Amino acid sequence: MSEDEYKIEKIFVEEFADKSSTEAKIFNAAILNFSQKGYHNTKTKDIANGAGIAEGTIFRYFKTKEEIFLKIFPLGLQLVLPKMV
């Protein structure tokens, strides 16, 4: 396996690649921004821009940036742990 196969954002993007829902776009954008900028330096505006939506649209799906992270984290464990074993 190449080093690239262990990049978390790549795993997540592949997981959501076939989904066209706004929620999946938000997850993808959040994952990429969190991995590049870190959680604290990522703003909801960054996520919205990455998802190609208005910032207010995020709040139709999630109350806070923390809620987005908390939804992503368990999925990350499911996807990453098997690849680490």
pLDDT digits (tens, 9 = 90+) for 10-44: 666 676 666 558 888 898 899 889 989 999 999 99
Which residue, among 37, 82, 6, 2, has the nearest Cα to 69 in the 3D structure? 37
Q: What is the pTM of this model?
A: 0.72
Q: Is the pLDDT of residue 1 over 60?
A: no
Phi, psi of 41 (to 5 degrees): -90, -5
Q: Helical H runs in the chain?
A: 8-16, 22-37, 44-51, 55-61, 65-84
- What pLDDT score was predicted for residue 69? 93
Q: Is the pLDDT of residue 62 over 90?
A: yes
